[in-house]
Amino acid sequence: IIHKAIAADLRVGPLENAKEAVVSYGCSDNIELRLSDGLDNFSENEVEEIAVAGMGGLLISSFIERTQWLKNEEIHLILQPMTAIKELREYLSHGYKITDETLVFDADKLYQVICAEYDGMEHTYTDIELELGKINIEKREELFSMLVENTVKKRTEIPFSFLF
C-alpha cells in the first residue's frame, strides 16, 4: 500500500531497533530511517501522510506548532496520543479539522486515533467532545462504551493521599 515511508525517532537506540525490524520484514527499499526531533528533519515536499504515535498529546501539539509547513490542506495527520488527548483536540481546534476518529484495543489498552488536516478555521467543541471525540460520540463504535467507562473512572478516582 505504501511505496515509501520514513520512520523517525529522536534517539539512536530506537532507530537501531527499527532498522532491525525493517530488515527482518524485507522493507529496506521502502522505509528510510531518520534521526529527527519530531518533524524537524522533514520537508513539506516529501510527505503526504504523517502518523505520530506513542507519545503524549502535548508533545504532538508542539511538533505540529513548530512545523509551519503542516498548514497545508494536502497533508493528512494520523495521531495516536497516549496522554493529554483532550488537550490535543483543543489544540487542533485552532486551524485543523478533525476528519475521523477511531478506537483501537490492543494489549489490554484502549487507544484513540485522531485524523486531522489543516483548514485554517476555528472549530468549537463541547468539553465532552474534547474528552471523548465528537466523531467517536457520533459513530458509537463497539469500543465506545469502554472509552466512556475508562474516562469516568479516571475522572472520579480520588487520590489516596486526599483521604488522610
Q: Whole-prediction pTM value?
A: 0.90
Specify the DSSP element, H or E, that contains 113. strand 109-122
Distance, in Å, from the CA atom of 7 to the CA atom of 33, rounded to the nearest integer, reads: 5
Q: First and final CA of the chain: distance in angstroms?
A: 56
Are 127 and 87 contacting, i.e. CB atoms less than 8 angstroms apart? no
Query: For each of the chain's 164 residues, which pLDDT tens digit applies?
Result: 788 999 999 999 999 999 999 999 999 999 999 999 999 999 989 999 999 999 999 999 999 999 999 999 999 999 999 999 999 999 999 999 999 999 999 999 999 999 999 999 999 999 999 999 999 999 999 999 999 999 998 888 766 555 45
Are 42 and 36 contacting, i.e. CB atoms less than 8 angstroms apart? yes
